[in-house]
Amino acid sequence: MPRSAQSGQGADAALYERSGAAAYGVSTDQFVDILDEILRKYLPKEPSLKSTHTAPDQSMERRASFCNGLRLEELALARACAAGNERAWQDFISRYRQKLHNMALRITRDAAHAAELADSLFADLYGVNARDGRRNSKLVSYTGRGSLEGWLRTVMAQEFINRYRKQKRTVSLEEQTEEGVQFAAAVPEPACAADPRLEAATDEALAELSPEDRFTLASYYLDGRTLAEIAHELGLHESSVSRRLDRLSIGLRKRILAGLRMQGMSHAQAAEALETDVRDMRLNLRSRLMQDSDAKTFPENKVQAQDAGDGSAD
């Protein structure tokens, strides 16, 4: 047998043992299959562990380090649950059932929906398909790249957004009007179009930004996240984010001006094109920012309250 395949097997065994999959009734082969599947997903160009082709040692190393970076124990637990292993379910429930509720509370900030969300996700995870009794668990898609708890949170947040946010979005307009919210420019921008040259220059400037910069801008200006939140998401210090935003806003202005001038505007014209907007912007930005960016939350509340309204004395 080629050496690489041998060492591959040795690596498999080590991974298998670390995962503790045996305790959940998962065999080595099954586990390796799972790893293969994950590898194929994330490192599509890499041969699988089981491949009999001679694999260069380097890529063996990469595979090994990739696998080592996975959450093997959680992966084993999740996949064992997906397969219906009782012991796995006991462990899962004891570790995560209550967490699901807590997560739901944090996400929905609403006791009524939290219970529904948590229970419904749990049902999805449990995955019993009533019809043919076969298990169809969501856990089968967990790949161990992040923690299981984090994954559960993410899935729950996705579910929440699908379920409640979408609902909210359709009513947000009326709701907000009723509540007297200053709708400012949260509404689709009127087509009093900006100068197309301005648009083009801006698009170009934005396109040149790094993904992280764009993400920072979008988070801050579109979503209204705080510096602290953005810093947390990016793993940066709050002051770094603040500096970055400053740098970006100055840099963008410069770039746009340069772009406009390249399109034939004089400096004065370019500056004017931008200046006018900035003044408007200040107005809009402030009102937008003061009007909580999470204004959407409360129309949602209202909707929820109405939903729960049968019993609510509100």
Partner 1 sequence: MTEVPKIVYDRLRAAPPERATLGQTVRESVHPDADLLTAFAERALSAAERDGVLQHLALCRDCREVIALAHSDASAAAAPTTAGTESVRAPVPAKSRWSWLSSPKLAWPSLGWAALAAGVALAASVLLLHPGKLKQATLSSANRRVAPSALPAGPQTTSAPGVSSPGLLSPTASAPTTSLSANQFSVPPNAASVKTRAMQTKPELGPSKKIKAVPPLAVQPGMMLADNRKASIPGHNRAAVPSPAASAFRSEEPGSRNVTQNVEVAGAAVGVAVAPSPENTLMAQNTAPAIEKAKPPLPETAVPETTVNESQKTAGVAASPEVRLYGRDVMSAGKRAPSSSQPSAPNVAWTITAGVLQRSQDSGQSWQNALRADHPLLCYATRGAEIWAGGQAGTLFRSADNGLTWVRVQPSIKSQTLTSDITHVDILGPMDIVLSINNDESWSSKDGGKTWAKK
Subset of 42-101 contacting partner 1 (CB under 8 A): 42-44, 69, 93-94, 97-98, 101
- Give the nearer residue to partner 1 in terms of CB position, either 58 or 210: 210
Binding of partner 1 by 154 (CB under 8 A): yes
Q: State the minimum distance, in angstroms, from the CB of residue 161 to partner 1.
A: 6
- Give the nearer residue to partner 1 in terms of CB position, either 32 or 201: 201
- Give the nearer residue to partner 1 in terms of CB position, either 30 or 291: 291
Q: What is the C-alpha separation between 19 and 80, in angstroms, rounded?
A: 11
- Give the nearer residue to partner 1 in terms of CB position, either 3 or 106: 106
- Give the nearer residue to partner 1 in terms of CB position, either 11 or 248: 248
Binding of partner 1 by 287 (CB under 8 A): no
Binding of partner 1 by 174 (CB under 8 A): no
Window 1-40: residues binding partner 1 (CB under 8 A): none
How many residues of this chain interact with partner 1, rule: CB under 8 A? 117
Q: State the minimum distance, in angstroms, from the CB of residue 132 to partner 1.
A: 14
Contact mark string toward partner 1, 111..150, x via CB under 8 A = xxxxxx-xx--xx--xxx-x----------xxxxxxx--x
Contact mark string toward partner 1, 236..265, x via CB under 8 A = ------x--xx-xx--xx--x---------
The residues, any chain, with a CB within 8 Å of residue 47's CB and separated by 6 or more, are: 53, 55, 59
Q: Which of 269, 267, 273 is nearest to 195 (CA)?
A: 273
- Give the nearer residue to partner 1 in terms of CB position, either 23 or 281: 281
Q: State the minimum distance, in angstroms, from the CB of residue 72 to partner 1.
A: 13
- Give the nearer residue to partner 1 in terms of CB position, either 83 or 285: 285
Binding partner 1 (rule: CB under 8 A), the pick from 14, 140, 194, 236 is 194
**Among 5-13, 27-35, 50-58, 286-294, which window interacts with partner 1 (CB under 8 A)?**
286-294
Burial of 222 (0-12, 13-18, 19+ CB in 10 A): exposed
Burial of 162 (0-12, 13-18, 19+ CB in 10 A): exposed
**Among 2-10, 26-34, 47-55, 155-163, which window interacts with partner 1 (CB under 8 A)?**
155-163
Buried b (16+ CB within 10 A) or exposed e, 257-272: bebbeeeebeeeebbe
Q: What is the C-alpha separation between 67 and 73, in angstroms, rounded?
A: 12
End-to-end CA distance of the chain: give it in Å, rounded.
74
Binding partner 1 (rule: CB under 8 A), the pick from 83, 184, 236, 281 is 281
Q: State the minimum distance, in angstroms, from the CB of residue 160 to partner 1.
A: 7
- Please state, as a whole number, how many other Cβ atoms lie within 10 Å of the Cβ of residue 48: 18
Q: What is the C-alpha separation between 91 and 116, in angstroms, rounded?
A: 22
Binding partner 1 (rule: CB under 8 A), the pick from 37, 199, 208, 272 is 199
Instruction: Enter the tokens of residue 237.
Output: 């210090």
- Say if residues 303 and 112 touch (Cβ distance below 8 Å): no
Window 204-233: residues binding partner 1 (CB under 8 A): 205-206, 210-212, 214-215, 217-229, 232-233
66 Cα distance to chain centroid: 21
Q: What is the C-alpha separation between 18 and 144, in angstroms, rounded?
A: 13
Q: State the minimum distance, in angstroms, from the CB of residue 2 to partner 1.
A: 27
